[in-house]
Structure 1
C-alpha cells in the first residue's frame, strides 16, 4: 500500500510538472510579438512613437517601425548571415558625431 501511494504521488508530481511546462510554452506563444534585444539578448525590445528601446540602454530613433517589422528585419538579416557563416552575428549600437544611433550587425570572425 505504501509503495502504491509513492507511485501515485510520483505520477501526480510528473503530471503537475508536465502541466507547468505546457503553460510556460503557451505563455511563450502569447508573447510572439515580442522581440528580444539583439544587443543584450535578455530583455524584450519596446517599439513606440518612432523609437526602439531596451532596458539595457539601447535607444534607436525610427520612422514607422513596428515590433513585427523589426522582428522580420532581424530574422532576415540573421538568416542571410547564417547561410554563409556558421558563427552567430553580434549586434552593437553605433552613432557618429551627427548621426543618429544605428543597430550594427557584425560577425566575430
Structure 2
C-alpha cells in the first residue's frame, strides 16, 4: 500500500476537514449577516436622526466579509489568510473561495432586501409626515394664499391679519375647526361663497365671515 508523504497527508486532511465540517462556514455566514444588518441599521438610524457623518462611509459587503474572516481565523488558525485567499492557487483555497462566493451572493441578496425594506419604511414615514403637515396646515381664509401661524395666542398671516385669541384660549387647530364649521353651516343654506375679513369690535380684532347673497354673518374668532 502506497504511503502518502507528510505534506500530502496534511493537505488531504485539511481538504476533508473543510468539506466534512461546515461549522466554520455556518458561523462565518451568520456573523457576516449580523454585521451587515447592524451596520445598515446604524446607518438608517443616523440618517433619520440627521446625525449622519458623510465622511464615514458604510462598510461594503467585501469589508464585512474581510472583518469577519479575520475574526474567524482567531478560532480557526488553520484557515488561510485574506491574502492567501486572493492569490493562492491551491485546491484547498479554491474550495474555500467557492464557499466565500456563495456567502457573498447571499450577503448581497440580504443587503438588497434590507435596502428595499428601509426604503419602503422611510417612504411610508415621509408620507405620514407630509400628510400630518398637510392636515395641520391652515390656509388664511382672508387672502386664501398663505398659511396661518400662531405665536403667543396671536394668529397671523403674511397678508397682514393679526387676531389675538388669548381671551378665548384658542389653538390654531381650534381656529381651523371654527372656520370649517362656519363654512359648512353656510354651504348647507347658500350656494354663494362667503367672504372672510377682519373687523374690530370693542377694541379687539375678530375674524368675520359674511355673505352678501343670504346676509349670513358669523364671528369665527
Q: Return the TM-score normalized by structure 2.
A: 0.36
Larger Rg over CA atoms: 2
Change (3 A) 1:52 1:33: same
Higher relative contact order (CA 8 A, sep 6+): 1
Aligned partners of 1:47 and 1:65 also within 8 Å: no
Deviation at 1:48, TM superposition (A): 2.2
SS in 1 for 2:196: strand
Q: Which runs of 5+ in 2 are unaligned?
A: 1-125, 214-221
2:134 corresponding residue in structure 1:
31
Map of 1:4-83 to 2, 5 A cutoff? 27=130, 29-63=132-166, 64-83=169-188
Q: Between Structure 1 and Structure 2, which shows a larger proportion of helix residues?
A: 2
The count of corresponding residues between Structure 1 and Structure 2 is 85
Residue 208 of structure 2 is aligned to residue 104 of structure 1: yes
SS in 2 for 1:32: helix
Q: 1:101 & 1:75 partners in 2: Cα distance?
A: 20
Change (3 A) 1:50 1:29: closer
Deviation at 1:100, TM superposition (A): 1.0
Q: Between Structure 1 and Structure 2, which shows a larger proportion of strand residues?
A: 1
Aligned partners of 1:34 and 1:67 also within 8 Å: no
Deviation at 1:28, TM superposition (A): 5.3
Q: Return the TM-score normalized by structure 1.
A: 0.69
2:197 corresponding residue in structure 1:
92
